[in-house]
Structure 1
Amino acid sequence: MADDLTPDSDSTGQSRRLPAGRKAELAAYVAEVGQVTVAKLAERFAVSADTIRRDLDQLDADGLLIRTHGGAVSLSAVPRPDTGLDVRMRLQTTAKEKIGALTASLVQDGTAVVINAGTTTLAVVRQLREQRELTIATNSLRIPAEISPEVYRDLYVFGGQVRLSAQATVGPVSFKTASAGGDVEVRFDLAIIAVGAIDAEGGFSTSNLGEAAMMAEMMDHATTVAVLADHSKFGRRLFAQIADLGRADYLLTDSEPPPEVADALDEAGVKVLVASTEDS
């Protein structure tokens, strides 16, 4: 009796996806759900976890998704609060670079600047090329390796608990010295604060309570506050509020805020600066 199985079916007669077709469906599925694990994909597509890992590696290399430890995220996904820094650095990259260039233009020579940890603020420090004699304080463990040593006179990293996923410290905005016998009061000309969400009623917020408290304290220690957020942050509220909208002097972003948020910012006296394509 002739075998009636087609090239696209297995010994049970069930349809078997060809690799190219599976990869296309896999990429479309990740784009739809935003974030997914290898185990879930293996179950959905009825192939081994090793096969899924190879497919994800190839799709990442092709620029169709972002490979993560244990799974993948779509290029357009808003990252979960626990998404690692290295993954978040690959989301909204163009927007962050545009915002970084615009923010760097606010930094004047010889000033004291406090910068919180985040992927958008990393884009800022990469744009600090012409400035000189800056005093910079941060809770980012990545900024010291990213910033040019020609830019700063002094660079300080705040102590505290280390959050490995954010590659940052969480603690008080202060420094202890033996000679002073306690905390030394610090003041900054400019605070550069990247936030996780902006809402007309809820103000600025983020996902971690300790980080929210530290970001609020950074604002309190600065004469001028510049808040950074790309368009994906508008109209969202996260777990921990950082501050009301009126606490910022500037909002730097890559596109005009939606009407409700724009009206609230205007009422709060916040100047919105939108990065143009020429700033990227």
Structure 2
Amino acid sequence: MSEPTRQSEDEDPGEAAPDPGSGILRVFGRQLKRFRIRAGVERTEMGARLGYSASTIAAYEQGRRVPPPRFIDQADDLLDAGEVLKEMKEEVARAQYPAFFRDAAKLEAEAVELHVYDTHIVNGLLQTEEYARAVFTMRRPLLSEETIDERVQARLARQSTFTRQPLPTTSFVIEESVLTRPLGGANVMRGQLEHLLLCGQRRNVDIQVMPNGREEHAGLAGPFTLIETIEGRRIAYVEAYKHSRLYTERQSVRELEEQYGLLRAQALTPRESLEIIEKLLGAT
């Protein structure tokens, strides 16, 4: 890749209309139905044996809902699908993400280094379930309850990046204003601050807070993520309304790397940052 991939200006990163991700769901659904019929299993029987309603099985077969990984594993075993369904699990999981984020999610899951700057909300990799639900509930245009559930579970699944091997090096610079904005209410924000303290204690995670009172600031253009792959490729992801994109051209990536280096120098140290999070927690 040498050019930035960008989202069409006609697309909305809020509630995506039918997109390429729905194709894999339809393909998976057809395969699921084919194996179910071949095995002579009715939807009601399959649902009862796996703990799902017949209507949910129908939704999976029709490509209207994203089946969780656990269901795919169980269905493959039950229907003796020879791991055909299991082999589709990764692509099916990516369909949970809005279209504009899918390529970035794949790179994130394989990265050896992730460096993130956030200005409006806590990054998805650091969010609690309650905070993530509040974020998606507030999004406009409104998301359906089903879409909110899928997006929350997808966001939580991304957090496995902190425990996979080899451990990726991750760092976050977060604006102090993000930590004082009580999205979802005081209890939700308290849980989120507690979670940040736990994340900040991981060996491979550095969290730095950019104080509101700083007179020098290198990140006024907005949030971004820097990704390094195991092959040594360096990529930048910049998310903005209707213009989210991946940058692979070296000059563009280098400019954001320079910004991030300055941001880390201007922000509080990781230890100082955890201390200020503790103080904010005490004030909630």
Which one has the largest radius of gyration? Answer: 1
Higher strand share: 1
- Provide TM-score, normalisation by structure 1: 0.29
Comparing both chains, which one has the higher relative contact order based on Cα–Cα distances under 8 Å and sequence gaps of 6 or more?
2
Higher helix share: 2
